[in-house]
Amino acid sequence: MKPIKNNTSLWLSDLPKPKPDGNKYDRGHLVILGGTDMTGAARLASEAAMQVGCGLCTIVSAKETKDIYLSGPPHIMFEAYTSLPDFPSHLADPRRNACVIGPGAGKGDAEELRHCIEHVLRFKKPTVVDADALNVFDDRHPDLSYVLHENCVLTPHEGEFSRLFPFLDGTREERVQKAVQLTGAVILLKGPETIICNPTGDMIINDHATPWLATAGAGDVLAGMIGGLLAEGMPVLKACAAATWIHGEAAIEFGPGLTAPNIIGQIPQVLRELMADK
């Protein structure tokens, strides 16, 4: 199937909009695994998820990180796990309908994190697998592929993708297609031209971006935006396409001097412009 260039007509009609008689639970509850050292990643992802429209967001991390996470925006909730293997239990409530795992997670105990991810994916909830959640499966893609499903999205950059699938060759588009067939999940390969592909062969190419996006935390923001849209019920491929376009538009509108929090701060204005067009 010929790749399609990302544009608003592909997903605007599916972009979630609050119902007049709705409540916060109607807008989804995203759960994010919070790292113990690189705490900024989950904080960026959580705020991005809320700004893009998610109704609730909870960061779950070790109890010693409580003060750090609660020092952030008051609308972001925090829960402590007793140990990392306990994290998946925080997804048991059916109202907690999406998950982001990986940003800032670290690779201290790679085996423990792998088992945690595998357990999370068995819930079959829409899940963004990013950053260290990918890195701990370097050269072990069969272990990850075994538990992935069509509601998962892997969001590697080129280095992470190459380490996860070192045996794949061909163009970027061809390698992504092969990886999608191996995993059965949606893959979003980040770059100046971001490639988004699903198991049915649909491929979207996003070049709606700016070099200013090459800044620390931009990927964490994107992961949170995708997670937020998934929690709101948007289909996975369209959620990825919408989040990537809005992420790029926010950066373009802000311009020089962009940092990750600036992307988040610009999201409401981009949404206002998009909603005016619906």
pLDDT in tens, the chain (278 residues): 689 999 999 999 999 999 999 999 999 999 999 999 999 999 999 999 999 999 999 999 999 999 999 999 999 999 999 999 999 999 999 999 999 999 999 988 899 999 999 999 999 999 999 999 999 998 788 899 999 999 999 999 999 999 999 999 999 999 999 999 999 999 999 999 999 999 999 999 999 999 999 999 999 999 999 999 999 999 999 999 999 999 999 999 999 999 999 999 999 999 999 998 76
Q: Is residue 6 part of a domain?
A: no
Structure tokens, 108 = 């201290």
Q: Do 209 and 194 meet the contact criterion of CB atoms below 8 Å apart?
A: yes
Q: Is residue 13 part of a domain?
A: no
Q: Is residue 97 part of a domain?
A: yes
H helix or E strand, kind and range, residue 120: helix 110-121
b/e code 29-46 from CB counts within 10 Å (16+ = b): bbbbbbbeebbbbbbbbb
Phi/psi at 204 (5° precision): -120, 135
pTM for the model stands at 0.98
CB neighbourhood size of 111 (10 A) = 8
Q: Which of 64, 66, 104, 109 is nearest to 84 (CA)?
A: 109
Number of domains within the chain: 1
Cα(186)–Cα(234) distance, integer angstroms: 14
Three-class secondary structure of residue 175 per DSSP: helix
Cα(187)–Cα(180) distance, integer angstroms: 6
Q: Is residue 42 part of a domain?
A: yes
- Report pLDDT for 1: 67
CATH assignment at residue 145: 3.40.1190.20
- Report pLDDT for 139: 78
DSSP code at position 151: T
Q: Is residue 150 part of a domain?
A: yes
- Range of the structural domain that residue 273 is part of: 23-277
- Report pLDDT for 107: 80
The per-residue DSSP string of 179-230 comes to: HHHHH-SEEEE-SSSEEEE-TT--EEEE----GGG-STTHHHHHHHHHHHHH
- Report pLDDT for 2: 84
- Report pLDDT for 270: 98
Q: Is residue 273 part of a domain?
A: yes
Cα(214)–Cα(154) distance, integer angstroms: 19
Q: Is residue 2 part of a domain?
A: no
Q: Is residue 3 part of a domain?
A: no
Three-class secondary structure of residue 197 per DSSP: strand
